[in-house]
């Protein structure tokens, strides 16, 4: 028996089942809680089918809202990677560049990306551009810092070995520095991807026409607890899916290292 | 030219700057930042209410210090934010660290809590805002829940990891010497987990402060985030930037304080 299903999975599954049962008992079975505080599983399911298969909610179906949010995260995040990683590599490679650029980061780094949302609204309005801007900010700073730290962490012996065998500067960069910095770069990306979702949800709660944050916002105003839970679950699923995707890319890029 | 090549021979780790070069470049970096900002603001490319110059922002900060904006003067907004943050963070630390330690110690608790924890970990802290408003209102309770959700996970994870990293032979040694479960907890497990816990506190404080900013943008009637939202509503960009500066300064101060704790701890108990 224990050989078939690991003990951990068994206990995990039963915990989830018990939690769901308790939820049902508290809301629907024994009606211990006010349905305006915590909706019953049936209400959440009704909200889910309304927004997914029915007429939608907050101006679109769940799929459309989720895709809209996913695209915003993808755009802001990839622009941040494309701009941030090379800048971090440059600062890591050249102490001159580091000394010149670092002061700007010292000034901007303590300000969380969330605090840029009001400024982004003044500058870009509540359309997509402002959201891409704040997601870019969220992921840009960690990209730069982790690429920088990654380059500095490369073993000098490896660089010296490549040099002794006649490698040129571009060759050292391409074959020693960048691969050496890669694991840390991905660590930074993973953290900033989660942060990007938080930023996007905040920005969409403050004001948006589409997106999962908009669903949450409208559901909050309508006092529709079932839909609030659907929105939260959708945010979690999207966040987990993008993290999983990034993990796939990481294994592709860092194919010389055994999967962790 | 050869000299330049030599200096880059070993790449980043091998080169070094003289003191003079370093400070010249650092000062140039700061100057460049403010010069570009003032230059763009003065050029007239953008309407002045979109990007005020650094001097205008400074004037605004001074004015906000004396004149109430959005109901309070600057220091009161700042204090409101700090108080709210400290309360939410204290609850997260008070529940998260004992829970993490217990999960590291009792396997059954680990196996029960971890699936639930994983199920809600991916819900972005700010996605709790509507539910928090529904449960605790938009006064003090709602924002507290958001700060709690934002800073809870790193507390649990760091305490759990710390407890798991304690070497088994120390625990076994204590057991051989007849220590009770409670004694092992107090004298082996908690001291052994402390470095990891302190590192986790810094992460959780940073995330909690961010969540506070986010929650203040959406609900509540005082605080730096609220000040910024009001500034944005009036298209008063210098007030918005003044709010950002205050958030940056407090966030920086929290980090510096916890770094000092970490250093003091490492000095007293040796390795990190």
Dump the DSSP string for B94-114: HHHHHHHHHHHH-HHHHHHHH
Neighbours of B272 (CB within 10 A): 11
Phi first, then psi, for residue B228 (nearest 5°) are -65, -40
**DSSP 8-state code for residue A60:** B
Neighbours of A215 (CB within 10 A): 33
pLDDT, averaged across chain B: 85
pLDDT exceeds cutoff 80 at B97? yes
Closest Cβ opposite residue A121 in set B28, B128, B232: B232
pLDDT exceeds cutoff 70 at B1? no
Residues A141, A187 share a domain: yes
Q: What does the block give as tokens for B133? A: 């408003």
Q: What is the pTM of this model?
A: 0.86
Report pLDDT for B253: 94
Report pLDDT for B271: 52
Q: What does the block give as tokens for A216? A: 């949450």
Closest Cβ opposite residue A232 in set B123, B225, B251: B123
Chain B partners of A188 at a C-beta cutoff of 8 Å? none
Interaxial angle between packed helices A212-221 and B129-136, expressed in degrees from 0 to 180 and rounded to the nearest 10: 20
- Contact between residue B249 and residue A109 where contact means Cβ atoms under 8 Å apart: no
From B270's Cα to the closest Cα of chain A, the distance in A is 23
The verdict on residue A17 lying in a domain is: yes
Residues A162, A138 share a domain: yes
Higher pLDDT, A52 or B268: A52
* CA gap A130, A201 in Å, rounded: 13
The verdict on residue A259 lying in a domain is: no
Residues A127, A53 share a domain: yes
Report pLDDT for B6: 47
Residues A136, A11 share a domain: no
Residue A167 gets the label, from left (phi > 0), alpha (psi -120 to 50) or beta, of beta
Mean pLDDT, residues B124-131 taken together: 89
- Domain range for residue A140? 40-253
Q: Which CATH class is domain B59-269?
A: mainly alpha
* CA gap A81, A87 in Å, rounded: 10
Residues A111, A240 share a domain: yes
> Contacts for A123-127 with beta carbons within 8 Å, 24 or more apart?
A123/B50, A126/A206, A126/A207, A126/A208, A126/A209, A127/A209
Residues A84, A203 share a domain: yes
The verdict on residue A260 lying in a domain is: no
Residues A66, A46 share a domain: yes
Report pLDDT for B155: 94
The verdict on residue A4 lying in a domain is: yes
Residues A21, A86 share a domain: no
- Contact between residue B124 and residue A135 where contact means Cβ atoms under 8 Å apart: no
* CA gap A243, B135 in Å, rounded: 30
- Contact between residue A243 and residue A234 where contact means Cβ atoms under 8 Å apart: no
- With cut-offs at 50, 70 and 90, classify the pLDDT of residue B136: confident
* CA gap B63, B131 in Å, rounded: 37
* CA gap B15, B34 in Å, rounded: 29
Higher pLDDT, A173 or B250: B250
Report pLDDT for B14: 54
* CA gap B139, B220 in Å, rounded: 6
pLDDT digits (tens, 9 = 90+) for B217-245: 887 778 899 899 888 888 888 999 999 99
* CA gap A150, B241 in Å, rounded: 32
Query: How far does Cα A93 stand from its chain's mean position?
Result: 28
| Chain A residue with Cα closest to B138 | A220
The verdict on residue A85 lying in a domain is: yes
Chain A partners of B2 at a C-beta cutoff of 8 Å? none
Residues A75, A15 share a domain: no
The domain that holds A206 is classified in CATH as 1.10.3720.10
pLDDT in tens, chain A (260 residues): 445 778 888 888 888 889 888 888 888 777 777 777 788 888 889 899 888 888 888 888 898 999 999 999 999 999 999 999 999 999 988 888 888 888 888 888 889 999 999 999 988 988 899 999 999 999 998 899 999 999 988 888 888 888 888 888 888 888 888 888 898 999 889 888 988 999 999 999 888 888 999 999 999 888 888 899 999 999 999 999 999 999 999 988 887 765 44
The verdict on residue A76 lying in a domain is: yes
Residues A44, A22 share a domain: no
Chain B partners of A111 at a C-beta cutoff of 8 Å? 244-245, 247-248, 251
Q: Do B130 and A219 touch (CB under 8 A)?
A: yes
Residues A209, A129 share a domain: yes
pLDDT digits (tens, 9 = 90+) for B77-94: 999 999 999 999 999 999
Burial class from Cβ neighbours inside 10 Å (0-12, 13-18, 19+) for residue B169 reads exposed
- Contact between residue A181 and residue A147 where contact means Cβ atoms under 8 Å apart: yes
Nearest partner of B259 among B202, B203, B205, judged by Cα:
B202
From A238's Cα to the closest Cα of chain B, the distance in A is 9
Domain tally, chain A: 2
Residues A78, A28 share a domain: no
Percent of chain B with pLDDT over 90: 30
């Amino acid at each position: 028996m224990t050989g078939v299903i690991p003990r951990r999975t068994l206990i995990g599954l039963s915990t989830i089942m018990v939690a769901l049962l308790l939820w049902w008992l508290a809301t629907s079975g024994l009606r211990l809680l006010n349905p305006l505080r915590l909706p019953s599983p049936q209400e959440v399911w009704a909200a889910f089918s309304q927004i997914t298969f029915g007429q939608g909610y907050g101006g679109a179906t769940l799929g459309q809202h989720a895709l809209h949010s996913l695209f915003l995260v993808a755009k802001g995040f990839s622009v941040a990677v494309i701009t941030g990683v090379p800048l971090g590599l440059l600062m890591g490679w050249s102490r001159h560049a580091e000394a010149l650029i670092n002061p700007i980061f010292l000034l901007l780094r303590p300000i969380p990306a969330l605090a840029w949302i009001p400024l982004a609204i003044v500058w870009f309005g509540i359309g997509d551009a402002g959201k891409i801007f704040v997601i870019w900010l969220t992921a840009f700073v960690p990209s730069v810092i982790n690429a920088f730290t990654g380059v500095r962490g490369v073993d000098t012996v490896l660089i010296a070995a490549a040099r002794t065998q006649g490698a040129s500067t571009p060759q050292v960069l391409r074959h020693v520095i960048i691969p050496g910095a890669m694991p840390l770069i991905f660590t930074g990306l993973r953290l900033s991807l989660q942060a990007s979702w938080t930023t996007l949800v905040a920005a969409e709660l403050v004001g948006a026409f589409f997106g999962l944050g908009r669903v949450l916002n409208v559901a909050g105003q309508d006092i529709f607890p079932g839909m609030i839970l659907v929105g939260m679950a959708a945010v979690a699923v999207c966040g987990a899916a993008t993290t999983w995707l990034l993990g796939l890319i990481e294994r592709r890029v860092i194919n010389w290292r055994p999967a962790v | 030219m050869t000299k330049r090549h030599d200096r880059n021979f070993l790449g980043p780790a091998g080169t070094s700057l003289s003191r003079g070069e370093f400070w010249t470049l650092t000062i140039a970096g700061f100057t460049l930042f403010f010069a570009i900002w003032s230059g763009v603001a003065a050029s007239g490319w953008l309407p002045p209410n979109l990007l005020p110059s650094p001097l205008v922002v400074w004037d605004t900060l001074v004015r906000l210090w004396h004149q109430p904006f959005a109901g309070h003067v600057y220091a009161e907004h700042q204090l409101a934010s700090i108080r709210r943050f400290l309360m939410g963070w204290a609850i997260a630390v008070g529940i998260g660290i004992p829970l993490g330690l217990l999960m590291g110690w009792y396997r059954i608790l680990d196996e029960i809590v971890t699936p639930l924890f994983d199920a809600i970990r991916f819900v972005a802290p700010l996605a709790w805002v509507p539910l928090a408003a529904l449960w605790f209102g938009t006064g003090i309770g709602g924002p507290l829940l958001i700060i709690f959700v934002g800073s809870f996970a790193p507390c649990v994870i760091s305490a759990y990891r710390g407890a798991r990293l304690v070497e088994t032979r120390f625990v076994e040694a204590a057991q051989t010497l007849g220590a009770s479960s409670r004694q092992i907890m107090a004298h082996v497990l908690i001291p052994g987990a402390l470095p990891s816990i302190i590192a986790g506190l810094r992460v959780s404080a940073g995330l909690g402060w961010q969540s506070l900013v986010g929650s203040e943008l959406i609900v509540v009637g005082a605080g730096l985030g609220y000040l910024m939202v009001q500034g944005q509503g009036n298209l008063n960009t210098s007030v918005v930037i003044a709010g950002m500066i205050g958030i940056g300064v407090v966030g920086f101060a929290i980090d510096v304080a916890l770094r000092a704790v970490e250093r003091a701890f490492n000095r007293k108990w040796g390795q990190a």
